[in-house]
Amino acid sequence: MCNRIALFALSTALFSPMAFAHPHSFITLVTTVMAENDQLTGLKMQWTMDEITSADLLYDAGNAKPDSPVWKKLAAEVMANVLGQHYFTEFWHNGQKVTFNNLPPQYGLARVGHQAVLTFILPLAHPQPLKGQTYQFATFDPTYFVDMSYDHNGDAKLPETLAKQCKISVKTPKPTEDMQAFALSLDKADAPPEDMELGKQFAQQVIVQCQ
Amino acid sequence: MSVMPSTKPQSRRWLHMWPLAFFLIVCAAAFYSLWHYWPQIILNSAMWQKSINQQMSGLLREVAENPARAGWSLLSFSFVYGVLHALGPGHGKVVITTWLATHPSRLKSSLKLTFAASLLQGLVAIGLVTLVLGILALPSRQLHMSSFWLEKGSYLLVGILGLMLCGRAVGKLRRILRKPVRLTSFTPRHVHHEKCGCGHQHLPTEQQLDAGEDWRARAMIVLSMGMRPCSGAIMVLLFSKVIGVYTWGIASALTMAAGTSLTISGLALLVHSFRKLAVRLSGNKAPVLWRQVAWATLAFAGGGILVLAAGVMWLSAQPVMRGIRPF
């Protein structure tokens, strides 16, 4: 009996943490809102990968020059994956998802020190009005294999033209506050699967508020 | 009337159950706090992982500039990294705990197993990176692809090991059931030897232990635990190659393996002593046939757990993207 209990305790202890996920890669985000004619047109993003993750790309790049086909090919490859995941970004307006154009007008990959930096423009499918509106967006990996985060609140920026009219802020979830919400969402059997995703639970939300 | 006397011992019997009650309360409290603090634990571990990643790459960069000064820091950090990283979940731990919990074995040989497996894991990572990037000069995608197939292979080996243990347990059970257990004759054939102290056997003998730990099972354990290279070690090797300190990367990977072996040996020691305790608590009064059947059943269950675990791991293993890069 004792044997069985000890065994059971051990095996559950060993198997249950297999569901435990922690990020293995880290991307630091810097985002600038893009506007044209008082309309929100897209986001200009800069993703800096951590050195260990970057090693993968930097190894393949070797000593290639920044403008060489090697870097262009790598950039296309990474960008294709980012597009495959809908830019790893969700964009909300009045409780509705804002759609993106699946063709970035501009993108590139570069080496900064020992880090790989991906820059691109995320275009909205349709420009959105700014006056009196509130927008919210978040960039995250749903599986939480990659941690994507803003190091500083100032890393989400507005263009100078909007500086007077709008405010931007980064909301970082605090585990103590959101613990109950998280636990409750796990209880809801009818919750949409994406709400249960780990990465979304911990994603920072950027809020743009305009007068 | 006859019911009366039985009530008093009954209530006292319950009093003696307190260790079990205590255990259950502790378990419940542990599960509750785990559930309650889960988001915080995940967030914190993400932050630790991030700073560990930065520390590791920072140290490797320092080593590239000044090996004499940063070398020792790198090695000690790698050791600690190995110790801590092995605390997380892993298929190797499933294999070694299941084996130790369900099979009688000696501590020394168990520790040899864990050490060999950790060493193999480090060597596989080094060998793989050296072969794929150094000798074959293939792109890093091939490195991750081959690492993925080694991972799949090691899960396959876990499954085969499980089937092997199940098969052996079934054979043992059949032998036990076929063997007459009652003393049918009392002839002078019965000689007192070392197994014969009080009419039954207390512990498996050395020979039985050796038979239970034949080289095939042990080789399978070491291979299935060590064939899957640690992804952390591979990334450290890759990074050290990029910044031109590959030899230090190798040293770091080996120290990591040493750290890992320390943690897993600790786990093995824990399981080993738990099993010994369980045997001591339950074993002395049970009849020999019961115990033989129990050990064989336990071994069968262990094999089953491994087959199940192998199936789950095989199905859930996928070529993970590295960073935001697809395979």
How far, rounded to the nearest angstrom, does the alpha carbon of residue B315 sit from its chain's CA centroid? 20
Kindly list the residues from chain B whose CB atom is less than 8 angstroms away from the CB atom of residue A27: 323-324
Structure confidence at residue B48 (pLDDT) = 84
Structure confidence at residue A152 (pLDDT) = 93
Judged against a pLDDT cut of 60, whether residue B323 lies above it is answered with no
Query: Rounded mean pLDDT of chain A?
Result: 82
Backbone angles phi, psi at A140, to 5 degrees: -160, 160
Kindly list the residues from chain A whose CB atom is less than 8 angstroms away from the CB atom of residue B301: 7
DSSP 8-state class, residue A154: G
Judged against a pLDDT cut of 70, whether residue B195 lies above it is answered with no
Q: Dump pLDDT digits (tens) for B261-318.
A: 999 999 999 999 888 888 887 756 667 788 788 888 989 999 999 999 999 888 887 7
Q: Considering chain B, what percentage of its residues have pLDDT values greater than 90?
A: 41
Q: Dump pLDDT digits (tens) for B231-252.
A: 889 989 999 999 999 999 999 9
Contact between A145 and B320 using a beta-carbon 8 Å cutoff: yes
DSSP 8-state class, residue A94: T
Q: Is A175 helix (H, G, I), strand (E, B) or coil?
A: helix
Q: Dump pLDDT digits (tens) for B57-107.
A: 999 999 988 888 899 999 999 999 999 888 877 888 999 999 888 888 888
AA letter at B298: L
B138/A contact by beta carbon, under 8 A = no
Residue in A196, A209, A194, A208 with CA at minimum distance from that of residue A88 = A194
ipTM of the complex: 0.75
Bridge partners of residue B260, in order along the sequence: none
Contact between A175 and B43 using a beta-carbon 8 Å cutoff: yes
Structure confidence at residue A182 (pLDDT) = 54
Q: Give the CA distances from residue A143 to residues A110, A198, B90, B169, in Å, rounded to whole numbers and listed in that order.
A: 26, 6, 19, 40
Please list, in sequence order, all residues whose beta carbon lies within 8 angstroms of the beta carbon of residue B214, skipping any fewer than 6 positions away. none
Q: Dump pLDDT digits (tens) for A103-139.
A: 999 999 999 999 999 999 999 999 999 999 999 999 9
Q: Dump pLDDT digits (tens) for A144-169.
A: 888 899 999 999 999 999 988 999 99
> Rounded to an integer, what distance in angstroms lies between the CA atom of residue B114 and that of residue B46?
28
Confidence of residue B213 (pLDDT cuts 50, 70, 90): low
Structure confidence at residue B166 (pLDDT) = 94
How far, rounded to the nearest angstrom, does the alpha carbon of residue B62 sit from its chain's CA centroid? 35
Contact between A175 and B39 using a beta-carbon 8 Å cutoff: yes
Q: Is B10 helix (H, G, I), strand (E, B) or coil?
A: helix
Q: Give the CA distances from residue B136 to residues A193, B129, B308, in Å, rounded to whole numbers and listed in that order.
A: 43, 10, 37
Contact between B50 and A147 using a beta-carbon 8 Å cutoff: yes
**How far is it between the farthest Cα atoms of chain B?**
90
pLDDT, mean of residues B201-225 = 71
Interface with A, mutate which of B33, B41, B44, B242 (most A CBs under 10 A): B242
Structure confidence at residue A49 (pLDDT) = 93
Bridge partners of residue B318, in order along the sequence: none
Query: Rounded mean pLDDT of chain B?
Result: 82
Q: Which residue of A has its CA nearest to B93?
A: A14
Residue in A89, A186, A16, A2 with CA at minimum distance from that of residue B20 = A2
Contact between B42 and A198 using a beta-carbon 8 Å cutoff: yes
Q: Is A128 helix (H, G, I), strand (E, B) or coil?
A: strand
Residue in B122, B112, B117, B116 with CA at minimum distance from that of residue B81 = B122
How far, rounded to the nearest angstrom, does the alpha carbon of residue A196 sit from its chain's CA centroid? 16
| Structure tokens, A160 | 């100078």
Contact between B57 and A88 using a beta-carbon 8 Å cutoff: no
Kindly list the residues from chain A whose CB atom is less than 8 angstroms away from the CB atom of residue B238: 52, 55-56, 59
Please list, in sequence order, all residues whose beta carbon lies within 8 angstroms of the beta carbon of residue B103, skipping any fewer than 6 positions away. B165, B212, B213, B299, B302
Sign of the dihedral through C-alpha B146, B150, B151, B153: positive
